[in-house]
Structure 1
Amino acid sequence: MKASEFLREAEASKRLVEKLQKERSLSAQCRKNGWTDISGELEEFERVLHQSRNVEKMTIQNQLEKIHNGVKKFQRQITDVKPTAELIGKLKEIMTEVEVSINTFKEDHRLRFEELLKEERICYQEIAAYEKKLETWTLAIKLDPKLHPAPLVKVSKPDGDIPSEVRALESFLQKTGGPYGGWDQYDHQAFLKVWTKHSGRPAFRKEARLYLPGKSLEEIEQHKEWYQELNRLQDKKREAIQQWKASKQQERQARIQSQEEAHRRERENKTQTQQHGAEEERREAEHRLEEWREQQRKKEQQIQEQRLAEEIYQMRQAKVGLLGEERRRQLEVKLAIEEQLRQRREAEEAQERSRREEEQRQLGERRKVATMGIKRFQERDLHKVEKKIQERQLSEQQEMEKQKRIAARIKEKVEVHISRNPSRLTQPTKGWEERMKHIGPSGGGPVLHMFHRAVPSWRQGL
């Protein structure tokens, strides 16, 4: 089915070629009307196409001959030979080479068909564009073929933050006729196609005359200079925008970092203020409690002294007449003992009070040392964070410089101009000449059969 379909497509293509050759009367008409330059260019273009078709036909014949020789070699290897491991390995290598050749042949043809279909679509679009252009020519005739200024475009007042390269590109487009340089959109697209095809080499002028019959060589040269200047300004604009974006990104990062640093410092100050306030309140509460305790002790001491004095007075008043010298002496001894006990109790209370004050002082010193340690740790953490931020910025800057160096190196490698020699494609190689001495040239008739990959007997059924 594939072979029959291929033959039908080949027959249809052959009939289409014959029809186009019969309808090719443009050359005679051009000579009759005196358009010798256009007819000569068309004949030159047709000759180039014919040569490329012959080269492609020879390449296809070489590929088919290579596949055919591989199949013949495989057939010679499997006739009247005992199967051994070495023979099977050799057959596998031959079959692999043939299979690779067939797959390469199919892939080349598939890519070629895709390119032809793409060119066909492009040609169809160009023909439609030219038909539309011819319709517009019937309605209006151009009086001045030179560049016309583009229509005025309302442009907002440029901001001071916009790079100068962007404003330069906008002013250039306004002065030279807009994004197409004063040309029609279809003419500019045809110019771009030819320019891209020839990579800006001088050889593009001949083909540009075919695509732009209404433009002179001077106009094409002016448009080429305009397009080169436009590309240069666009490159500068892209570089300026990238630099502007990088600077804005750095400013944004610096602003965010400064805001984060300010928020962090504000939080630290607030936390420290709260800690100091809590400590002050705690010290004031402890001081008030200590004063209240001292007042309570003084009140109790005064009450005890008053009670003791009243008891002594009552005892003296009650027993003043009954007690003798011994009783009075005992009472004095008792009073002296009570006075000693009172003094000892006051000394113990004073020692306890001094001990509590010493503990409060030591606790205050420990709190002060802890506050200084916390502050020192916070300063160390801040220093580490700032160091990490500087290292990250340095690494980003080094990465950007590395990318720029790589881009410059790639640009230096890419900008290489190599001269082409199309005649080398049609010259046979030394190996082919040696082979033709013994084999002889093969037939050049049409291919009626399509060779397929054979399946060996040892692999059947797997």
Structure 2
Amino acid sequence: MWGDEGDYYLPRDSIKGQLLVLPSFPTFENSEKVEVTPAAASSGATTSPKKLNDQGSAQIHFRERQRAKVEAWRANKRRELEEKREAEVALQRARYQAEEQKRQARMNSLRAKLEDFVKRREQIVASRAEYRAVHERAGRAARRELCALISARIQERLIVSPSRDPSRLLSPTKSWKAHVDTSSVGVNITGVGLSALSCRRAIPTWRAGLNS
């Protein structure tokens, strides 16, 4: 029969001279066997209290040994489970660290590619801005030159700038030269000649073809 804590004990009155085998626990070695001889069984009724006490103490010691074995087995089992759990935790930690390293390497690669892309984009934007600025400056210079050329041509058409000849003030006019020539020849001046020699302000030759 089983006791309160799962221990096996034998009633004193049930000993009938049989070979009793105690139950075996898992992973235990050969279980101890208690053999009761027929002589002891026949004399069980006249067994002294001292022998009964010895048998009880033997059973108590046996139960203690069995309990110690069970506790050792449980402790060993707990230790194995703990070691297994620690091994699994270490394996998971190693896997996590490997995955974290891969992720960090991938992130570093992506960060480097992004920085390279941003740098090249900034260079392209700067070169485009410089080209646009140079093109605008060249366009403004060309427009200024074109405006200056058009203005010069307009000035040439609208504003007349005759050359000044101070010696003309002392030289005779064509009418006077004609008068002198005809006077020396003795030709009478009539008609148009008289009107040309009349006292009036003459028009300079450089203004002859221009409207007043």
TM over 0.5: no
Higher helix share: 1
> Could you tell me the TM-score, scaled by structure 2's length?
0.45
Q: Which has the higher contact order (CA 8 A, sep 6+)?
A: 1
Q: State which structure, 1 or 2, has the greater radius of gyration over its C-alpha atoms.
A: 2
